[in-house]
């Protein structure tokens, strides 16, 4: 179990440096520099902070184990400069992708690399309590795996490559073999849990809406329930938004570095991510930032009517693109599914003038060529935009979910365009309100008690 006062900590409670906006800028540059590292003068130049401020911040980051020296580098004329690097193992985020029939969990390190992952069956149609149990178990297993990895490597915290959380179904037992102290020590550096599921949902309140085919989720306070059970900050977002955020953060680093894109049309540009799996939806990145809409209801792509008086959709309407597309998939006619998807994609490009259309989701992953070609043809007929398969494969959504937690640590809460983040009069909180104030009632039962 998590010892009271040690386990349920707000994100970065043990890492105060994570609460400063300027520290986030420095961390982002350290992350971008990778293993080569970056010197303090370079950090000052790139952030616009004074050398004294940079020294203070880097000292704090080193004290907290977030940054380390990465050797010395000759500098032009002067004495060699010490370079600093991010310590990826200093913090982790859990990402959970709740699909209608399976749950994918990933553990990302601070650098955004996946260190462990697992997919297990899930019935999103079961009652909420049963689903919450399964989700809590997957999150605790993800954190427990981290503990095993730390112990195995003599406490260095480094993990070689991704691995599973252990065998599916038996993992609760294996997780239980770790001592309670060990588990608490591991989860202490888990900054939070990002949860992605089919929309619609209210991201700001962390409450799902009328998920097609799963009415029991409408209005259920999923984020707060999970935060209570896990004792960790939880962020809830649509699967499509999580994927789009993950994709936006994969943009070439040079286009995301502060200063580089000042005055340009925005780092990351504009793209639409179309997700075809057990449902159909879209994630939108406009001007380099994830676009959720005024009521976090943007991207409800699947329920646009493309055939008046068409077949009945599970949402109650007729002729929705999701209904037509899924029906074609069910018939095994993927060419037709791609053609239908292409019509919707062309509508979207016509409406928003995005630069790119990225395709993902389980159905697309199973026949990438068919979908890229079919959607590409529909786009070419009406727009100048191409269709591409989204990078990231089947873990894209889960990794994007973890990025909902990690991105704010680096000042990229909403994949904020660098030119906005640079502006002196705009201060972005390192942690959005819903991350900074998770719910910890006094009568909280430890999550580990329940598994």
Number of H helices, E strands in the chain: 15, 15
Q: 200 or 411: whose CB is closer to Zn ion?
A: 200
| Footprint on residues 108-147 left by Zn ion (CB under 5 A) | none
**Applying CB under 5 A, does 211 fall inside the site for Zn ion?**
no
Choose between 210 and 373: whose C-beta lies nearer to Zn ion: 210
Window contacting Zn ion (CB under 5 A); options: 38-46, 217-225, 314-322, 415-423: 314-322
Of 118 and 239, nearer to Zn ion (C-beta) is 239
Q: How far is CA 441 from CA 115, 227, 228, 432, in A?
A: 32, 10, 8, 20
Cα 209 to the center of its chain, rounded Å: 20
Maximum CA pair distance of the chain?
75
Question: How near is the Cβ of 327 to Zn ion at its closest, in Å?
Answer: 12
φ, ψ for residue 286, nearest 5 deg: -120, 130
Cβ atoms of residues 223 and 193 within 8 Å:
no
Nearer to Zn ion, 317 or 336 (CB): 317
**Residue with Cβ nearer Zn ion (302 or 438):** 302
Stretch that binds Zn ion, among 315-323, 361-369, 377-385, 442-450 (CB under 5 A): 315-323
Residues contacting residue 105 through CB under 8 Å, at least 6 positions apart: 94, 95, 96, 97, 117, 118, 119, 120, 138, 139, 141, 142, 165, 398
Strand 387-389 vs strand 356-360: parallel, antiparallel, or unpaired?
Answer: parallel
Rounded to a whole number of angstroms, the minimum distance from the CB of residue 315 to Zn ion is: 3
Which H or E run includes 388?
strand 387-389
Nearest approach in angstroms of CB 322 to Zn ion is: 6
Q: How far is the CB of 303 from Zn ion (least distance, A)?
A: 4
Nearest to Zn ion of 284, 313 (CB atom): 313
Residue of the chain from 103, 184, 320, 413 that contacts Zn ion (CB under 5 A): 320
Q: Is residue 425 reached through a cis peptide bond, with omega within 30 degrees of 0 on the bond before it?
A: no
Q: What is the DSSP string of 77-127?
A: SSSPEEEEEE-GGG-EEEEEEE-SSEEEEEEEETTS-EEEEEEEE--TTS-
For Zn ion, which stretch binds (CB under 5 A), given 151-159, 170-178, 200-208, 312-320?
Answer: 312-320
Contact of 83 with 71, CB cutoff 8 Å: yes
Smallest Cα–Cα separation from 26: which of 81, 86, 99? 86
When the beta carbons of 114 and 212 are compared against Zn ion, the nearer one is 212
Which DSSP string do the residues of 267-301 spell out, in sequence order?
TT--EEEEEESSSEEEEEEETTEEE--TTS-TT-G
User: Quick one: which segment of 306-314, 349-357, 379-387, 441-449 binds Zn ion (CB under 5 A)?
Assistant: 306-314
What b/e readout covers 309-348, taking b as 16+ CB neighbours within 10 angstroms? ebeebbbeeebbbbbbbbbbbeeeebebbbbbbbbbbbbb
Q: Does 315 bind Zn ion (CB under 5 A)?
A: yes
Output the smallest distance, CB 198 to Zn ion, in A.
13
Least distance from C-beta 308 to Zn ion, angstroms?
13
Query: Which residue among 150, 289, 313, 345 contacts Zn ion (CB under 5 A)?
Result: 313
Residue 323 C-beta: closest distance to Zn ion, Å = 6
* Residue 352 C-beta: closest distance to Zn ion, Å: 20
- Residue 91 CA to residue 407 CA, distance in Å, equals 13
Shortest Cβ 184–Zn ion spacing (Å): 45
Shortest Å, Cβ 128 to Zn ion: 23
Q: Which is nearer to Zn ion, 142 or 343 (CB)?
A: 343
Query: Please, what is the minimum distance in Å from the beta carbon of residue 101 to Zn ion?
Result: 19
Q: Which is nearer to Zn ion, 242 or 313 (CB)?
A: 313
Annotate each residue in 284-303 with x if it binds Zn ion (CB under 5 A) or - if it does not, as one string: -------------------x
Give CA–CA dist 173/328, Å, rounded: 41
351-370 residues in contact with Zn ion (CB under 5 A) are: none
Among residues 182, 317, 355, 388, the one that binds Zn ion under rule CB under 5 A = 317
Interface positions, 224-243, toward Zn ion (CB under 5 A):
none
Smallest gap from residue 151 Cβ to Zn ion (A) = 49
- How far apart are alpha carbons 56 and 20 in whole angstroms? 12
Binding segment for Zn ion (CB under 5 A), chosen from 39-47, 236-244, 308-316, 412-420, is 308-316
* Bridging pattern class, strands 102-109 and 289-291: unpaired
Residues binding Zn ion: what is the number (CB under 5 A)? 5
Q: Which is nearer to Zn ion, 273 or 301 (CB)?
A: 301
Exposure letters 39-74 (e unless 16+ CB within 10 A, then b): bbebbbebbebeeebbeebbebbeebbbbeebeeee
Give the residue with the Cβ less far from Zn ion, 217 or 431.
217
Nearer to Zn ion, 278 or 446 (CB): 278
Residues 284, 352 contacting (CB under 8 angstroms): yes
Bridge partners, 360 (sequence order): 275
Name the site residues for Zn ion (rule: CB under 5 A).
303, 313, 315, 317, 320
């Amino acid at each position: 179990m998590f010892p009271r006062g040690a386990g349920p900590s707000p994100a970065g409670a043990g890492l105060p440096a994570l609460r400063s906006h300027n520290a986030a800028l420095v961390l982002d540059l350290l992350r971008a520099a990778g293993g080569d590292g970056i010197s303090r003068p370079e950090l000052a130049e790139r952030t616009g902070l004074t050398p004294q401020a940079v020294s203070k911040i880097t000292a704090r980051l080193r004290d907290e184990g977030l940054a380390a020296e990465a050797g010395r580098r000759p500098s032009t004329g002067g004495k060699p400069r010490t370079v600093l690097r991010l310590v990826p193992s200093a913090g982790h985020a859990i990402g959970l992708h709740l699909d209608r029939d399976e749950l994918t969990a990933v553990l990302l390190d601070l650098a955004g690399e996946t260190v462990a992952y697992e997919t297990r069956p899930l019935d999103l149609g079961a009652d909420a309590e049963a689903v919450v149990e399964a989700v809590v178990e997957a999150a605790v297993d993800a954190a427990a795996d981290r503990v095993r990895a730390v112990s195995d490597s003599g406490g260095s915290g480094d993990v070689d490559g991704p691995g599973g959380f252990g065998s599916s179904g038996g993992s609760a037992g294996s997780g239980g073999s770790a001592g309670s102290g060990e588990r608490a020590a591991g989860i202490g550096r888990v900054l939070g849990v990002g949860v992605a599921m089919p929309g619609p949902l209210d991201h700001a309140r962390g409450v799902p809406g009328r998920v097609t085919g799963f009415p029991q989720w409408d209005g259920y306070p999923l984020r707060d329930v999970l935060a209570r059970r896990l004792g960790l900050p939880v962020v809830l977002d649509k699967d499509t938004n999580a994927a789009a955020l993950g994709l936006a953060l994969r943009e070439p680093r040079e286009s995301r570095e502060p200063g580089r894109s000042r005055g340009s049309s925005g780092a990351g540009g504009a793209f639409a991510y179309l997700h075809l799996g057990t449902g159909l939806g879209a994630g939108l990145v406009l001007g380099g930032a994830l676009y959720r809409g005024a009521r976090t209801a943007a991207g409800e792509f699947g329920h646009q009517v493309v055939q008046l008086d068409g077949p009945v959709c599970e949402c109650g309407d007729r002729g929705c693109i999701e209904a037509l597309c899924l029906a074609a998939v069910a018939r095994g006619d993927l060419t037709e599914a791609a053609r239908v998807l292409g019509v919707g994609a062309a509508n979207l490009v016509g409406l928003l003038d995005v630069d790119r259309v990225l395709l993902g989701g389980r159905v697309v992953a199973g026949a990438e060529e068919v979908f890229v070609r079919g959607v590409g043809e529909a786009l070419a007929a009406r727009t100048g935009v191409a269709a591409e398969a989204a990078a990231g494969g089947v873990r894209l959504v889960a990794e994007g979910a973890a990025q909902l937690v990690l991105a704010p640590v680096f000042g990229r809460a909403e994949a904020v365009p660098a030119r906005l983040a640079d502006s002196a009069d705009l201060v972005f909180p390192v942690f959005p309100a819903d991350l900074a104030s998770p719910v910890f009632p006094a009568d909280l039962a430890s999550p580990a008690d329940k598994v």
